[in-house]
């Protein structure tokens, strides 16, 4: 029986691809054994078991670039975690170890390299993460979501597969009538979908709050996902402008239906979000978060905007430009259709299965 370890996490952008790869491996090899390695206290310790997989946590955290003395403890924990990861691998005996980025990925991949176990990396972003760059020499294959990633990785190891996306999203288009009914919206008016991730995006939310009077009078319908941290402030601000055309919620559980009726999407530029927008061919305005490592969301957004597949609005300019740009764009059908067509050309399909197939090819390459 084949056995695989998938390591990494920390954010949904790492966890979702990891679970998708595991699901694809199970589809190809139903009897295979799969074990996840994550970081204690991070969201993967809940999300992975909820998806039906076993996970072991390591005590690891990122380097503190502001308080350098704290890194003495970080390095000690990393060293201990590598030792624990080696013990896990000797007991589990994986054929291949997959790294998807995040704190725990580094320790697990270091352990795999020391034991001669084949490694496959999956890089979601247009700017390579620190762990994946450090482990590139030890990896057999590196699956990427964007062209030109050979500037970070050895060219002969790079395979363009795209990022796995939520499997039900593509089914929403067949249920548009249900979507309009769910959100209480009309079919004869355009829909603007505003999303900032499950936790929310401060700048996007503040831009919407300032523009509520204009949105109410625009004739555009709005689905506004605020995120849990911002829902109360959003509801207070929305109350004077309450109307059927603006739906305010902290979380959209049926994102497939929200995407199905969206004529334009405002979103952060996380790797998973961009992959979804391309696969669905959605016209989008991307507002990269400035609070991510290596400013990778700006690189993600530029990979689309330079090809006419999205509009990029800088976070610092969002309060002044974002909603006006959105209203102007959604009112221009030719523009939204052009963005949609160009986004579709960048879509990578069946990404999870293609990555899983590359993982399976590495069996038997133990050093």
Annotated binding site for UDP-N-acetyl-alpha-D-glucosamine: 11-13, 125, 166, 198, 297
- H/E element holding 181? helix 176-183
Cβ atoms 39, 104 nearer than 8 A: yes
Residues 344, 337: Cα–Cα separation, whole Å: 11
Give every CB contact of residue 248 below 8 A, 6+ residues apart in sequence: 224, 226, 231, 234, 235, 238
Query: DSSP 3-state assignment of 55?
Result: strand
As beta bridge partners, residue 237 has: none
Residues 254, 261: Cα–Cα separation, whole Å: 12
Can you say whether residue 267 is alpha, beta or left, with left for phi > 0 and alpha for psi between -120 and 50 degrees?
Answer: beta
Q: Are strands 264-267 and 246-249 parallel, antiparallel or unpaired?
A: unpaired
The residue count for the chain: 367
Helix axes 333-345, 271-280, angle to 10 degrees: 110
**C-alpha distance from residue 7 to each of 36, 94, 103, 131, 160 (Å):** 6, 12, 9, 11, 20
Instruction: Return the structure tokens found at 105.
Output: 């990925």
- Binding site: what residues are annotated? 11-13, 125, 166, 198, 297
Give which of 111, 51, 46, 44 is closest to 80, Cα–Cα.
111
As beta bridge partners, residue 195 has: 225
Query: DSSP 3-state assignment of 8?
Result: coil
Residues 172, 179: Cα–Cα separation, whole Å: 8
Residues 32, 26: Cα–Cα separation, whole Å: 6
């Amino acid at each position: 029986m084949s056995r695989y370890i998938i390591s990494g996490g920390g954010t949904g952008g790492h966890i979702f691809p990891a679970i998708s790869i595991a699901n694809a491996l199970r589809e190809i090899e139903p009897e295979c054994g799969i074990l996840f390695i994550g970081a204690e206290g991070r969201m993967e310790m809940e999300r992975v078991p909820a998806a039906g997989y076993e996970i072991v946590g390591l005590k690891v955290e990122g380097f503190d670039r502001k308080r350098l003395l704290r890194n003495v403890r970080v390095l000690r924990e990393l060293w201990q975690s590598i030792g624990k990861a080696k013990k896990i691998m000797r007991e589990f005996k994986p054929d291949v170890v997959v790294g998807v980025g995040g704190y725990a990925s580094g320790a697990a991949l270091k352990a795999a390299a020391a034991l001669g176990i084949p490694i496959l990396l999956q890089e979601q972003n247009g700017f390579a993460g620190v762990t994946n760059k450090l482990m590139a020499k030890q990896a057999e294959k590196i699956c990427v979501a964007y062209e030109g990633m050979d500037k970070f990785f050895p060219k002969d190891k790079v395979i363009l597969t795209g990022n796995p996306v939520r499997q039900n999203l593509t089914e929403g288009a067949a249920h548009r009538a249900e979507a309009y009914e769910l959100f209480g919206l009309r079919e004869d008016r355009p829909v603007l979908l505003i999303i900032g991730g499950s936790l929310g995006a401060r700048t996007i939310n503040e831009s919407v709050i300032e523009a509520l009077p204009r949105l109410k009078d625009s004739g555009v319908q709005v689905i506004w996902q605020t995120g849990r941290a911002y829902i109360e402030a959003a509801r207070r601000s929305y109350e004077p402008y309450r109307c059927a055309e603006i739906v305010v919620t902290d979380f959209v559980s049926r994102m497939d239906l929200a995407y199905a009726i969206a004529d334009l999407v405002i979103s952060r530029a996380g790797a998973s979000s961009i992959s979804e927008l391309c696969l669905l061919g959605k016209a989008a305005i991307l507002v990269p978060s400035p609070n991510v490592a290596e400013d990778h969301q700006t690189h993600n957004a530029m990979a689309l905007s330079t090809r006419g597949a999205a509009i990029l609005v800088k976070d610092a300019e969002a309060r002044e430009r974002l909603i006006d740009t959105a209203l102007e764009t959604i009112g221009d059908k030719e523009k939204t259709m052009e963005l949609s067509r160009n986004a579709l050309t960048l879509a990578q399909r069946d990404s999870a299965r293609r990555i899983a197939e590359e993982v399976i090819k590495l069996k038997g390459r133990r050093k």
